[in-house]
Amino acid sequence: MDNEKVKVLIIGSGPAGYTAAVYAARAGLKPVLYQGGQPGGQLTLTNDVENYPGYPEGINGPQMMVDFQKQAERFGTDIRYGMVTSVDFSGWPHKVTIDEKTTVEAEAVIISTGASAKWLGLESEQRLNGMGVSACAVCDGFFYRGQDVAVVGGGDTAAEEATYLSKLAKKVYMLVRRDELRASKIMQQRVLKAPNIEVLWNTEAVEVLGKDQVEGLKVVNNKTNEERDLEIQGFFVAIGHKPNTDIFKGLLDMDEVGYIKTIPGTSKTKIPGVFATGDAQDKVYRQAVTAAGSGCMGALDAERFLAEKEMEVEAATA
């Protein structure tokens, strides 16, 4: 197995990873960034990004990630294809194995592995992803101002998305598999009070209709087996997100879903020299701009950690 030593290793390549790379590279830390299984992260599935500051006309998601990558490379980030297959945080430097064949010894590790939306698994849902199918109302709701949309899910996320969309869309159908909402009482009240939200109980999505964009939704009542078509222009899947953190299980503190816990106000995990940024640790905001901000925090925290380590070594040898 090949061995390599680096100062800063960044795992993941969304807004958090690339921003961490820009800051770390400009600080002279020569970061190495592995892009992971989805280079560019969730934004590569987003056609139009209109809420990121600095793009008055909006920007295409994949193009935005190309811009982030170029900026990171401009300052000397070594960007590589590859998946992290195992990690060892038991000693220092930290050991990270890439594609089961290269071990990287890193003095600081910045985790920016992001999260993935949970999908229903419909072929039509994947085919029309980014063309009317979305997993983020805050990101994409604006495009459906005055139109009819559907939200699938019965928890807090779905209730929040439906409520948010009700302020923009003409009509919001909320598809709930059971005959009750799992959402907290206050979120339930908001949904049931909104005049333009219609909750369809015991209802599941069968197929998203449309060739090049969403034109409707075929649904079925799981009690009566009755099918009907809803005329909608936007379909929002709100059944949760899963952070891409399985590889760190048992090594870092996480919540019950798998979001990495950091010391509040920092990107620091419980292991010195290991930092978590972006959607791998943020289940609340989950926006490109907040991910980028936390990537900056990760790089600054790593820089301070390395400076302190250097001082310790100097003091020990003095």
Q: List active site positions.
A: 136, 139-140
Q: Which structure tokens are listed for 193?
A: 């009070």
Distance CA 99, CA 83 (A): 5
Please give the distance of CA 245 from its chain centroid, rounded to a whole number.
11
User: Is the preceding omega at residue 93 within 30 degrees of 0, hence cis?
Assistant: yes
3-state secondary structure of 14: coil
Pick from 31, 127, 42, 132: nearest CA to 72: 31
Distant-in-sequence, close-in-space partners of 133: CB < 8 Å, separation ≥ 6: 125, 208, 214, 235, 236, 237
Asked if 194 and 172 count as a contact pair (C-beta separation under 8 A), the reply is: yes
CA 104 vs CA 5, 43, 69, 245: distances in Å: 6, 27, 21, 19
Distant-in-sequence, close-in-space partners of 26: CB < 8 Å, separation ≥ 6: 75
- Tokens 């010894």 locate to 105
Distance CA 168, CA 147 (A): 8
Distance CA 69, CA 104 (A): 21
Asked if 203 and 176 count as a contact pair (C-beta separation under 8 A), the reply is: yes
User: What single DSSP character describes residue 294?
Assistant: H
